[in-house]
Structure 1
Amino acid sequence: MKVGFIGLGTMGGNAAKNIIRAGFETYVFDLRPEAATDHIAMGAKWVDSPRDMIGQVDCVVSMVFGPPHLDAVLNGPEGLLKGDCQGKLWIDMTTSSPRFMRELVKPFVAAGGRPVDAPVTGSVDAAIRGDMPMFVGGEDADVEAARPVIEAMGELRKVGKYGNGYVAKLVNNQLWKVHAAAIGEAMVCAKKAGLEPDVWWEVMKGGAADSFVMQHDVPSIFAGHYDPSFPIKLCLKDLGLIKELLEETGTRSEMLDACYARFREAGDRYGAEAGEMTVCKVVEDDAGVELRVSGDWVAPWEVIHQAAE
């Protein structure tokens, strides 16, 4: 199978490397040609557009910023629909709107294409290692055809029909962001009450308060970088999509609304490129408390794939 990859950002760039490592003949495209330097050095071939890509591959994988960018990938002047889509797989890993995407792919399906949605969870270290959990929706035959490519990048978690992957990703991020915002309040409160952050962290893990955020993201607060590999601007984009889904389904959203407001405040204070966990720095700064802890905290983007060790 020949595979094309569109979108070589922090997550997508690392995922594409794992497709190359798995032995697939790989073609790459990004709006920034320099983003493909490492991939070409690993043996990938550059193409000039999604249209050129779909003419040369059996499967296109995309991971871009959001819905407008996916619209451009499919419907742009050099989009996928300008090429031959018959029988071609399109695995999209972008965090997007399920309603929007179910409409967007209709002409792709009409042209003979086979769409699979596979948004990911985890962080950049999972993308580097190639063990990202992936929420995969689509026709069973299409998912099975896409399985070798998906499993080169991570763990396939089937969620049913096309679009359900986007649903799973949004509610996943809903819980993630709410917990990220709440952790800052809990940590600062604990420290002001006499419980040091390192002790607090050790005793919280494995109990009722545990989560991916607790295990994975708290060290970025201790280190003081707040994980810029996932910036506030992406958090705000995701939170907007989550809010949209809650409104579409008529679901109460008071907790999400409070979380969204806290992330907007973090963006206003520290900038759109600041790390996601600066949502906790807001509480630190207002309390006049620092949550730094000395230690060998390996940043997520510093993880090395075993093949590169």
Structure 2
Amino acid sequence: MSTTKIGWIGLGNMGIPMAEQLIKAEYPVTVYNRSEGKASQLMEMGARVADSPQGLASETDVIIIMVADDQAIEAVFEAENGLLKAALKGKIIINMSTVSPAISKKMAAICAAQNAHYLDAPVSGSVKQAETGQLVIMVGGDQSAFEEVKPILDRLGKLSKWVGETGAGNQAKLAINSLLALYTQGLAETILFANEKGIKSADLLDLIGNAAIGNVFTKIKGEAILNDQYKAAFALKHIVKDLRLAKDEGISTPLAKTALKTFEDAESTYGEEDLVAIFKALK
């Protein structure tokens, strides 16, 4: 059993299975979530529950955050009982949320002033990969701090890679999610075009799956379209957020601009569904 005490903030669709991986690896884990009630299954596995980020920080060595956006990060750090109210000296804070490089640089500077390390470490992968410890983790920040917590990250993912200084992990994630949007819209448009020409979706997907262009993503999302199953593994509203962040960071290529408009147009109707619901929006 590891003696490193881990604090986990954020128990959403990704946070719960990721925290479970660390509990199974016999790390002492303390959790906090804004909405009460989400910690019950982790408590049954042995997790402790803190009443605030401040309280969580006071009893842990490494703090991992998995929340929705920049605003949620600011609340975690700066609220009345937030992390900044605790003594952070010597601690490593790992922000695994998909947020802007700007918020990471801001929080990293604040942490450094308290002699603590901040790493931006967003993940590629969805709920299934979180449940099986098969995420891909891209990390920005101090490389020595990354090496110190790499054994923890390796419990969460199949690849944990340092890619540069603070904000680099966020930049890498925005690049990957831009490709995710292009993949999703491209798959949807391809199936719709084939359908218009009388080709069945199942037949087309069988062809794609056996061709060089087939991959795990086209298989999973193709099956979702076939089964008319759009429960969110990664909500469409989140890809809109990420494409906007990428735009703010300067991405302005033709496909990226088109994808942003397509997903923005669909958000009001399909935002809570999986991003592959873009198929319904385009249909």
Number of the residue aligned with 2:279: 280
Number of the residue aligned with 2:13: 10
Q: Is the 8 A contact 2:108 2:117 kept in 1?
A: no
The CA RMSD measured in Å over matched residues stands at 1.5
Number of the residue aligned with 1:297: none
2:230 is equivalent to residue 253 of structure 1: no
TM-score if structure 2 supplies the norm length? Answer: 0.94
- 2:88 is paired with a residue whose SS is coil
- 1:165 is paired with a residue whose SS is helix
- 1:133 is paired with a residue whose SS is strand
Pairwise mapping of residues 1-309 of structure 1 onto structure 2 (< 5 A)? Answer: 1-154=4-157, 155-205=159-209, 207-246=211-250, 251-270=251-270, 272-284=271-283
Residue type of the alignment partner of 2:102: R
Q: Is the 8 A contact 1:227 1:277 kept in 2?
A: no
TM-score if structure 1 supplies the norm length? Answer: 0.86
Q: Is the 8 A contact 1:12 1:63 kept in 2?
A: yes
Q: In structure 1, how many angstroms separate the alpha carbons of the residues matched to 2:269 and 2:156?
A: 35
Report how far residue 226 of structure 1 moved.
2.2
Q: In structure 2, how many angstroms separate the alpha carbons of the residues matched to 1:87 and 1:168?
A: 27
Report Cα offsets for 1:85-141 as digits up to 9, x if no partner.
111011111001112311222111110111111100111100011111111222121
Q: Is the 8 A contact 1:267 1:274 kept in 2?
A: no
Q: Is the 8 A contact 1:227 1:276 kept in 2?
A: no
Considering Cα pairs closer than 8 Å and 6+ residues apart, tell me whether 1 or 2 has the greater RCO.
1
**Bigger CA drift: 9-18 or 198-207?**
198-207
**Bigger CA drift: 122-131 or 229-238?**
229-238
Q: Is the 8 A contact 2:108 2:119 kept in 1?
A: no
The percent of aligned pairs where both chains have the same amino acid is 28
Q: Which runs of 5+ in 1 are unaligned?
A: 285-309
Q: In structure 1, how many angstroms separate the alpha carbons of the residues matched to 2:71 and 2:203?
A: 45
Report Cα offsets for 1:29-81 as digits up to 9, x if no partner.
00112110110110000001111111100000000001111111112211111
Q: In structure 2, how many angstroms separate the alpha carbons of the residues matched to 1:151 and 1:172?
A: 20
What is the count of residue pairs matched by the alignment? 279
